[in-house]
Amino acid sequence: MSIRFDSGKHVFLLETPSSTYVIRLYEGHVLHGGWFHRLPDWSGACVTPSCERPSFSPVPEEFEGKTYFSPDVMQQEFPVTGRGDFRVPAIEAVDASGVNGAEFRYVSHTIGKGKKPLPGLPATYADENEAETLELELADPCGPLRLTLSYTVWEGFDAICRHVRVKNTSESESVSLRSVMSASIDFPHYRFKMLQLSGAHVRERRMITRDLCPGMQAVESRRCMSSHQQNPFMALLETNATESTGEVFGFSLVYSGNFIARSEVDQFGTCRAQIGINPYNFSWKLEAGQEFCTPEAVLVRSEQGLGGMSRTYHELYRRHLCRGAWRDKVRPIVINNWEATYFDFNAKKLFALADTAASCGMELFVLDDGWFGHRNDDRSSLGDWFIFKDKLPEGLKQISDGIHERGMKFGLWFEPEMISPDSELFRAHPDWCLHAGERKPALGRHQLVLDMSRKDVVDYIEQAVSSIITESGLDYIKWDFNRCPSDVASASLPADRQMEVSHRFYLGLYDLLERLVAKFPQVLFESCSGGGGRFDPGMLHYMPQTWTSDNTDALSRISIQLGTGVVYPASAMSCHVSASPNHQIGRMTSLSMRGHVAMAGTFGYELDLNRLSAEEIAGIKSQVELYKQIRDVVQFGDLYRLETPLSSNRLEAASYGAWQYVSRDRKRSVVTVAWSYAEANAEYLLLKPQGLEADARYAIRCSPENNPPVPAGTCVSGGELMYCGLRIVNQAAYGGSLLFILEKV
């Protein structure tokens, strides 16, 4: 890792272990030089396009005796509007004269060790030896704005983290920021497929790819949350890249609100890729002297295909984005009462569930929705974070103590950013919800959204959640968010700041979370939003795991989890075994398959254990035991997607997913294959594990143990496993899935 400035060539070279990112200075203009395989040196002579283009690409100025250029044809580092570049700009700002336009020139730079935090925003972090940061200062010679473009390179990661700070240096006049991206890169070609993670509630993060073509292709959220529908991420895969080969660029935004990730292919076949806050319903009044900071964009370059990109994100996010006592600890096995009881519980039922869970070896009991206010269904009480006395007359302490006595940790569900119209909180503070003037705000799941841009609201939630944590000795919190904010307006802000509310909402939330995680470092926080509606890097900074989806069906989970794992590590991906038939889609699957699929992340159960047969309970006990043996490999190992929806163009109708985790010391590995359905007289499936030591020998164990495709006690070299593979037939006898444990002997 290093950042070098070649003052002779006016070039910055940002070096990661296997790549070089180039920034050029040209007569004060800051131009992008490219992001390549690691270079010894860079002259730019071969890739810089000839500057002349005819009159439809205007030229801001002609340099004396030198070739002039139009911004329209140059690779820009942070493109502006109004000076002849007609591609999408990275910043739009309207100054006091009402003009939308600015132009920035290099002023100075600093190169320093480590990485500074971003004010009020979640971000990756590093100490002095782990990263280096370049800050480029740019100023508009004819306007009040100054930009700081920040770039961090990492020891050991092919990643560059970028953000931008915009300062209004005027002494008296404000500027209205209309859009400011966190990162922009101009690629000299568009031979890319764009990968996005798209879906819906209970159908999150499908891997979708498309070939780029001229024009704009974008994914975005306008839901005031990162959303189930699109994830704040995109990747550009060189057209011949695969899961394990070729060049891939990832763009991920450390943010939980409205975002946009876009690729614009222009008239000359170049591609501008950007990620940042969505300009939709956004503007920011920057008063004289004030600074605006964008969220952080985390850019990853891989030469080992999509898999290489994912592994970089996983390790970077695990070690440099997640924080706290739980960051490096294996996560407890959960029993959650939601799909076991829904709202219909009392202390007796909860303890009966806890007794069975404890006897099966589970470690954390989570009491879900319905313990507060007078909440017997989803129509009331959000905001009233005090015990529902009629349901739990002995209080929460009794439940918490009872769970602790059974040797388990105790956790609670909250939905702190919401307010029910039927709540004491709403009756006391009707203006605390997001709403636009006299217009009645729209309900979602019978609830309204609190106005997190208000400090009084944030203070209230901090106090309410803190006192429950302290009084009940909580070890864990599931932090839910069950509707998209609509009516995104605030009673506490003036007219010219209403379009700041969607961003201020997240500044308020991040402030609240920062206070809570600082106060309660031992508490394990799990983010949730109707499952995976806010599965984003912003939330991961405060909460090291997220409830992946409200859909707990094992087959649906194959694609949801494979898609989630494109960016997010298994330690962040919460997965539970639930009942069969499944409550969301009615499908029946074997207990064994539900277990194998849920073992791809942080593991748990969410069903009424006391309605199961003795045989099923025995099955669960052995699953819990198995997961305890493999969880460190799963949660902290390297992921290899062996078969994904991207590669499932197969002869037979039955499709399957296969994935593998390898411990970082390569001594242990877990390989799982799960079929969507059984096939008659099926094709052979050749599973080729990856990431093993070719010369080492690995003993193979298989789950289920009866009738294994590889006899128990088999021991072969890593090379044989990787190059010859494991040959399997899809057999109903396997119950729909197989899990292999490989251990170096």
547 lies in the site for ligand GLA, by CB under 6 A: yes
Helix or strand or coil: residue 734?
Answer: helix
d(CA 212, CA 475): 47
659: alpha, beta or left? (left if phi > 0; alpha if psi -120 to 50):
beta
* Token pair for 633: 């490999």
Residue list 422-451, contact with ligand GLA (CB under 6 A): none
Nearer to ligand GLA, 187 or 371 (CB): 371
* Residue 547 CB, nearest approach to ligand GLA (Å): 6
640 lies in the site for ligand GLA, by CB under 6 A: no
* Token pair for 17: 């272990």
* Residue 480 CB, nearest approach to ligand GLA (Å): 5
Phi/psi of residue 444, each to 5°? -140, 130
* Token pair for 602: 């942080």
Nearer to ligand GLA, 264 or 369 (CB): 369
> In the annotation, is 608 catalytic?
no
Report the 10 Å Cβ neighbour count for 209: 14
Report the 10 Å Cβ neighbour count for 52: 12
* Residue 370 CB, nearest approach to ligand GLA (Å): 8
Nearer to ligand GLA, 383 or 530 (CB): 530
* Residue 424 CB, nearest approach to ligand GLA (Å): 19
Helix or strand or coil: residue 636?
Answer: helix
Phi/psi of residue 530, each to 5°? 50, 50
416 lies in the site for ligand GLA, by CB under 6 A: no
Angle between helix 591-598 and helix 614-636 axes, rounded to 10 deg:
20
Nearer to ligand GLA, 28 or 444 (CB): 444
Q: Does 581 sit behind a cis peptide bond, omega within 30 degrees of 0 on the bond before it?
A: yes
Identified catalytic residue from 266, 368, 475, 480 = 480
Residue list 181-240, contact with ligand GLA (CB under 6 A): none
480 lies in the site for ligand GLA, by CB under 6 A: yes
d(CA 608, CA 341): 7
At 643, the amino acid letter reads E
Site string for ligand GLA, 118-157 (x = CB under 6 A): ----------------------------------------
Q: How many CA atoms lie within 13 A of 717 on its CB side?
A: 7
Nearer to ligand GLA, 26 or 338 (CB): 338
* Residue 343 CB, nearest approach to ligand GLA (Å): 8
d(CA 498, CA 535): 26
Residue 290 burial by CB count (10 A; 0-12/13-18/19+): exposed, middle or buried? middle
d(CA 513, CA 87): 38
SS (H, E, C) 240-269: CCCCCCECEEEEEEECCCCEEEEEEECCCC
* Token pair for 562: 């494979």
* Residue 434 CB, nearest approach to ligand GLA (Å): 20
Nearer to ligand GLA, 338 or 505 (CB): 338
Residue among 21, 413, 510, 734 that touches ligand GLA (CB under 6 A): 413
At 109, the amino acid letter reads H
Computed from CA positions of residues 480, 553, 736, 563, in that sequence, does the dihedral angle turn out positive or negative? negative
* Residue 418 CB, nearest approach to ligand GLA (Å): 10
Residue among 182, 294, 356, 482 that touches ligand GLA (CB under 6 A): 482
Nearer to ligand GLA, 180 or 366 (CB): 366
559 lies in the site for ligand GLA, by CB under 6 A: no
Residue among 186, 238, 475, 550 that touches ligand GLA (CB under 6 A): 550
Site string for ligand GLA, 352-371 (x = CB under 6 A): ----------------xx--
Site string for ligand GLA, 5-24 (x = CB under 6 A): --------------------
546 lies in the site for ligand GLA, by CB under 6 A: no
* Residue 677 CB, nearest approach to ligand GLA (Å): 27
Nearer to ligand GLA, 396 or 726 (CB): 396
CB 484 within 8 A of CB 447: no
Number of residues in contact with ligand GLA under rule CB under 6 A: 12
> In the annotation, is 550 catalytic?
yes
338 lies in the site for ligand GLA, by CB under 6 A: yes
CB 75 within 8 A of CB 83: no
d(CA 132, CA 155): 8
Beta strands in 255-309 (DSSP E): 259-265, 271-277, 284-286, 291-293, 296-302
Nearer to ligand GLA, 528 or 600 (CB): 528
Comparing C-alpha atoms, which of 394, 397, 392 is closest to residue 375?
392
Chain centre distance of CA 282: 22
* Residue 59 CB, nearest approach to ligand GLA (Å): 55
Identified catalytic residue from 72, 95, 368, 550 = 550
Nearer to ligand GLA, 528 or 642 (CB): 528
CB 662 within 8 A of CB 690: yes
Comparing C-alpha atoms, which of 224, 233, 230, 234 is closest to residue 200?
230
Residue 210's alpha-carbon distances to 88, 218, 304, 600, in angstroms, are 20, 11, 20, 27
Q: b/e per residue, 349-370, with b = 16+ CB within 10 A?
A: ebbebbebbbebbbbbbbbbbb
* Residue 657 CB, nearest approach to ligand GLA (Å): 23
Residue 529's alpha-carbon distances to 416, 461, 536, 572, in angstroms, are 12, 18, 11, 14
Q: Which distant-in-sequence residues (6+ apart) come within 8 Å of 282 by Cβ?
A: 178, 179, 258, 499, 500, 502, 503
Nearer to ligand GLA, 480 or 536 (CB): 480
**H or E element at residue 348:** helix 347-360
* Residue 337 CB, nearest approach to ligand GLA (Å): 10
Nearer to ligand GLA, 508 or 533 (CB): 533
Location of structure tokens 């991040």: 510
431: alpha, beta or left? (left if phi > 0; alpha if psi -120 to 50):
alpha
* Residue 531 CB, nearest approach to ligand GLA (Å): 5
Q: Which residue is nearest to ligand GLA (CB)?
A: 369
* Residue 415 CB, nearest approach to ligand GLA (Å): 7
Comparing C-alpha atoms, which of 310, 303, 29 is closest to residue 147?
29
Residue list 516-545, contact with ligand GLA (CB under 6 A): 528, 530-531
Nearer to ligand GLA, 315 or 368 (CB): 368
- Residues forming contacts to ligand GLA in the complex (CB under 6 A) are 338, 368-369, 378, 413, 480, 482, 528, 530-531, 547, 550
Catalytic residue positions, numbered: 480, 550
